[in-house]
Amino acid sequence: MKIKLKYIFLENDFPVLFSCTDDYNNDYLGCYSAVEDNHLKFTISKVSPLTILKVLKNEMFLYDAFKNSQLNYIYTLRENTEVEIVHQVEDKYLPCKNEYLDAKKDEYSAEINYYKSKL
């Protein structure tokens, strides 16, 4: 099964907060987590379209969106990407508690319409 990038919500030189989908049309929320040994780490968590909608509308804290997931992956970008499945993600790999995406009105309207259509 492959997980593919769908939307990038925040980015720097690399995606910071993003959504993904898999071969079965399941949705995932991803975030940049850390740099360890000069390699980027990303947390990717399986979530519902409703969770992504709540994040985009500033109705759910980013931390909660990831923490409430039952299926989490830690991706480490190296020559061969390493994937680790974890059931409880350590807080150091998650966004800070009590922070919203802080999206402006209509900033993610296309993405919101897409995830609404999946409900």
**Mean of pLDDT over the chain:** 92
The pair of structure tokens assigned to 66 is 């990831």
What confidence tens digit (pLDDT) does each residue in 3-35 have?
Answer: 899 999 999 988 999 999 999 999 999 999 988
Instruction: Report how far residue 96's alpha carbon sits from residue 78's, in angstroms, rounded to the nearest whole number.
Output: 25
Distance, CA of 42 to CA of 72 (rounded, Å) = 10
Q: What is the pLDDT of residue 77?
A: 77
Q: Cβ distance 43 to 30 under 8 Å?
A: yes
* Average pLDDT for 29-45: 91
**Whether the Cβ atoms of residue 102 and residue 58 lie closer than 8 Å to each other:** yes
Q: What residue type is 102 in one-letter code?
A: D
How does residue 96 score in pLDDT terms, banded at 50, 70 and 90? very high
Q: What is the pLDDT of residue 33?
A: 93
pLDDT at residue 38, as a whole number: 84
pLDDT value for 8: 96
